[in-house]
Amino acid sequence: MILNNECVVAITGATSGIGAALAVALAEYNVRLAICGRRKERLHTIAEEARAKGATVLELVANVSVPSQARGFVEQCIAHYGTIDVLVNNAGRGTYGSVEDTTQEMIDSMFTLNVFSLWHTTAAALPVMKRNKKGQIINIASVAGKQGFPCNSAYVAAKHAVVGFTAALRTELVDTGVEATVICPAGVSTEWADVTEGDSIGMLFGRGIKRSRSIAEQRGLPLAPLTKMMSAHDAAHIIVESILQPPHTDVFTHAGTEEQALLTAQNRSASEHQMLPFYLGVMQEYAERTNNKNNTSDT
Ligand SMILES: NC(=O)c1ccc[n+]([C@@H]2O[C@H](COP(=O)([O-])OP(=O)(O)OC[C@H]3O[C@@H](n4cnc5c(N)ncnc54)[C@H](OP(=O)(O)O)[C@@H]3O)[C@@H](O)[C@H]2O)c1
């Protein structure tokens, strides 16, 4: 895709993190942007930043968990600019909680936001893209769409569904000129890890990693192969590259994660053995925190 002042790019969830960094990175190409999120003031701040860098920006407050607002976001983008070239389905949120502690409300909200919204935004964009015989749907999944993580099951299941949705979408897009790409980031330094539903998964994983070091030592195991955090700016640049040059494969942003995902698919025991100190560390931390919470609420 050529990125210039004729190119229209719509991004969901652009008030913070990867979506905000992507809006600003794309602004360097003077594209026409449509961005959304629920926080009006944050949206305006990012829009102004992108305008200062050369983009034309349509800012639309929208909650993409509401189907009419998800569709409406894309429809308003098309009505305003007359077309849409790239749709980045980025809005998303995670969960905190073991399988037993994950409520129906959490499951519903994870799938409504991370998965169901994609149908509505994508369905609204496809007729125009198919008519133009060009366009790109970029779905921000996660490494959690390729492998499991403890105390995060509703999110992991939802991101696997994003990968499946995109796989099905691609089968409908053959010979149309429209591309669909899945991006699978690992840890990116954004608000994501602290705003997970239930409690902060970032805090749980951080403490679980600390515990995993002594577990590995006690059991004579190597440390679990965990990747370093990446900045939202660097993640955004990988997404920009995927727009400029469609990779025709799922994109793993962090070194080593594609190999881990492959190992998980091909040899589950070997993968579990590698990750064991991390899984145990997280589960021990979770059990201790849950016990403490229960004891506090009993007194
Ligand atoms: N950070 C990571 O480590 C990581 C790793 C893998 C994948 N991801 C994925 O990357 C994507 C971006 O996450 P991030 O790390 O940039 O997190 P973030 O900083 O928390 O940003 C999430 C964005 O989604 C928006 N959003 C949330 N709920 C929404 C709703 N109902 N309607 C519209 N917008 C909504 C938020 O805006 P408002 O709150 O203003 O609505 C915000 O702009 C997500 O899909 C996430 O699952 C993140």
Question: For residue 23, what is the domain's CATH number?
Answer: 3.40.50.720
Q: Report if residue 205 sits inside a domain.
A: no
Mean pLDDT (whole number) for 25-53 = 98
**Is the per-residue pLDDT at 299 higher than 90?**
no
Q: Report if residue 202 sits inside a domain.
A: no
pLDDT of residue 127: 98
Mean pLDDT (whole number) for 65-85 = 98
Q: Report if residue 128 sits inside a domain.
A: yes
Residues above pLDDT 90, as percent of the chain: 97
Domains contained in the chain, number? 1
The best mutation among 143, 160, 190 to test binding of ligand 1, ranked by most ligand atoms within 8 Å of the C-beta, falls on 190
pLDDT of residue 142: 98
pLDDT of residue 43: 98
Q: From atom 32 of ligand 1, which residue's Cα is the shortest distance away?
A: 63
How many whole angstroms separate alpha carbon 135 and alpha carbon 126? 8
Distance 149 CA to ligand 1 centre (A): 18
pTM reported for the whole predicted model = 0.97
pLDDT of residue 296: 80
Q: From atom 23 of ligand 1, which residue's Cα is the shortest distance away?
A: 13
The best mutation among 11, 12, 16 to test binding of ligand 1, ranked by most ligand atoms within 8 Å of the C-beta, falls on 16
Q: Report if residue 298 sits inside a domain.
A: no
Q: Report if residue 277 sits inside a domain.
A: no
Distance 233 CA to ligand 1 centre (A): 14
Catalytic annotation on 29? no
Q: Please tell me the total number of residues recorded for the chain in this structure.
A: 299
**Is the per-residue pLDDT at 203 higher than 80?**
yes
Mean pLDDT (whole number) for 137-161 = 97
Distance 216 CA to ligand 1 centre (A): 33
Q: Report if residue 177 sits inside a domain.
A: yes
Q: Report if residue 23 sits inside a domain.
A: yes
Mean pLDDT (whole number) for 184-195 = 97
Q: Report if residue 275 sits inside a domain.
A: no
Kindly list the protein residues whose Cβ atom lies closer than 6 A to any atom of ligand 1. 12-19, 36-39, 42, 62-65, 90-93, 113, 140, 142, 185, 187-188, 190-192, 195
Mean pLDDT (whole number) for 229-246 = 98
Mean pLDDT (whole number) for 85-110 = 97
Of the residues 29, 81, 96, 155, only one is catalytic, namely: 155
Q: From atom 20 of ligand 1, which residue's Cα is the shortest distance away?
A: 192
Mean pLDDT (whole number) for 116-141 = 98
Containing structural domain, residue 87: 8-196+228-256
pLDDT of residue 170: 97
pLDDT of residue 148: 96
Distance 135 CA to ligand 1 centre (A): 23
pLDDT of residue 297: 74
pLDDT of residue 37: 98
Cα distances (angstroms) measured from residue 174 to each of 78, 120, 186, 249, 257:
23, 20, 29, 14, 28
**Is the per-residue pLDDT at 207 higher than 80?**
yes
Each residue's pLDDT tens digit, 238-295: 999 999 999 999 999 999 999 999 999 999 999 999 999 999 999 999 999 998 888 8
* Lowest mean pLDDT, pick from 202-211, 216-225, 286-295: 286-295
